[in-house]
Amino acid sequence: MVVTGLIWFYNEYIESGEFMNIKTQRCLEIAHSQGVQAVLVTSAHNKFYLTGFTGTTATVLVTDRNQYIIVDFRYIDQARSQCESSIVLLSNDNDNTIINLLNGIIESEGIDIIGFEKDQLTVGEYDSFKNSVKAEMLGLNFNELRLFKLAKEIEVMQKAADIADEAIGYIMEVIQPGMSESEVDLLLYNKIRQLGATSFSFNTIVASGWRGAMPHGVASDKIINENDFVTIDFGAVYQGYCSDLTRTFAMSKSADKRLVEIYDVVLKAQISALEACKPDVTTKEIDKIARDIITEAGYGNFFQHGTGHGLGILIHEAPRLNQLSTEVLKEGMVVTIEPGIYIPGLGGVRIEDDILITKDSYIRLTKSDKQLKYIR
Ligand SMILES: [Mn+2]
C-alpha cells in the first residue's frame, strides 16, 4: 500500500500473530479512551514494545489503520528485519524528513489529533512537533500500556529471572572476604553475560558492612570483610526484559547478631507480603503487610521505601507497591516484593523476588533460597 508519494520504502503490513497485534490494540485503546486517533511513540521502551525495534533512533506512529516506524539509513535494514508488523519508512534530510513523513500519514489518514507520551517528550521536542505537525498534539497518560504481560513476555522474563538466580548462586559460591564490592560486581556481570543476558538491568548494588545501610549502595572499592553482611541487588536484561533480585547474606558467623535479628524480620515481611499477592488486592495493602511487620518489630523508621514495583522492559514500571499507590493487582502483572531495613552505622538487609500475578494467586519467577546463608 502506498501512503504518500514521499515514501520511498515500506513493508507490506504483515499480520505477525497475536503478540504484536494485542500490544498495538492496547495502545489504540489507551489512545481512544483519551480521545485521540493516533499516537506518536517516542520512548525507546514503548517503541520496542510495539514494534520490536532495538535501535536508538526511530519515530513510531500508531494509527487506527497502521503502525509506522520512521528510521534513517542507519537503521533501515534493522527496522525491516525487526519490525514485521510495522510499515517501515525511510527518512532523510531532504524531502522525506520525519515531519514530512508524519504529515503525509496525517493527511492520508485524516488524523486531527495525535497523542503523545506526556512523560517522555521534552518541552523542546514537544514544541518542535507542535509547530510542524499538521494535527493537534495531546499528552497521553501511557503508564498502563505494558501493565499486563503477554505469555511470550512472561516466558522471556522467566529466563531473565533464571539467569539472576543462577548468577547469585554462583556469587555465593565464589565470594570471599578480601574481595572488593567492585570485583563481585564484575564477576556477576561476566556470569550474567555467559548465561545469555545482554546487560545488567541497572547499576548493580553490592553493599557490604556499613554500606548495607545505603539502600542504593552501588558497588564500590570497599573491601568485603569477614564479619560483613552483604546485600546484592541486581538484574539481568534478557531479550529486552529485566529481572530484579536482591539477596542479603552473612560472610561468616561472626556477623553482628542485630543483623541476624533484622534478617528474620525482613524475611517474615517479605514472605508475608508475597503470600498476600493475588488478583484484586490493592498494592497499598501489600505494602502495609510488609510495613506493619517491620514496624511492629521496632524498625518502621528504617524502612522508608516502597515494598515493590512493576517490572518489564523497564526496571521500574506500573504498578507501584507503596503507601501512596492506588493500584490493584491483576492477573498478568509482574511485580517485585522487596522490603528492607537499613540502620546507619550498622548495615542493612533487603530481600527481593519477582512474581507473576496469576488467576487466583502468584508464582515466583526468582526462586533463590531465602534462608540466611553464612558464606563460611
Ligand atoms: Mn527492585
Q: What is the pLDDT of residues 107-125, one digit of tens each?
A: 999 999 999 999 999 999 9
Q: Which residues surround ligand 1, an ion (CB under 5 A)?
A: 244, 336
Report pLDDT for 36: 94
> Cα of 180 to ligand 1 centre, how many Å?
23
> Cα of 217 to ligand 1 centre, how many Å?
13
Report pLDDT for 22: 84
> Cα of 6 to ligand 1 centre, how many Å?
46
> Cα of 231 to ligand 1 centre, how many Å?
13
> Cα of 173 to ligand 1 centre, how many Å?
23
> Cα of 201 to ligand 1 centre, how many Å?
10
Domains and CATH numbers, the chain: 18-140 (3.40.350.10), 151-364 (3.90.230.10)
pLDDT digits (tens, 9 = 90+) for 246-295: 999 999 999 999 999 999 999 999 999 999 999 999 999 999 999 999 99
The β-bridge partners of 71 are: 90
Query: Residue 296: pLDDT above 50?
Result: yes
Region 60-84 average pLDDT = 95
Q: Please check whether residue 259 is in contact with residue 275, taking contact to mean a CB–CB distance below 8 angstroms.
A: no
Q: What is the pTM of this model?
A: 0.92
Residue 20 pLDDT grade (very low, low, confident, very high; cuts 50, 70, 90): low
Query: Residue 100: pLDDT above 90?
Result: yes
Report the C-alpha gap between 14 and 20 in whole angstroms.
10
pLDDT digits (tens, 9 = 90+) for 128-138: 999 999 999 99
| Residue 300: DSSP 8-state | G
Report pLDDT for 218: 96
Q: Is the peptide bond before 319 cis (omega within 30 degrees of 0)?
A: yes
Which grid coordinates are listed for 216?
542504593
Higher pLDDT, 70 or 14: 70
CA distances from 334 to 131, 149, 363 (A): 39, 7, 10
Region 85-105 average pLDDT = 95
Task: Kindly give, in sequence order, each residue whose CB lies less than 8 Å from that of residue 194, ignoring residues fewer than 6 positions away.
Answer: none
* Sign of torsion over alpha carbons 176, 219, 269, 273: negative
Instruction: For residue 258, give the H/E element and its range.
Output: helix 257-275
> Cα of 211 to ligand 1 centre, how many Å?
18
Q: Please check whether residue 221 is in contact with residue 180, taking contact to mean a CB–CB distance below 8 angstroms.
A: yes
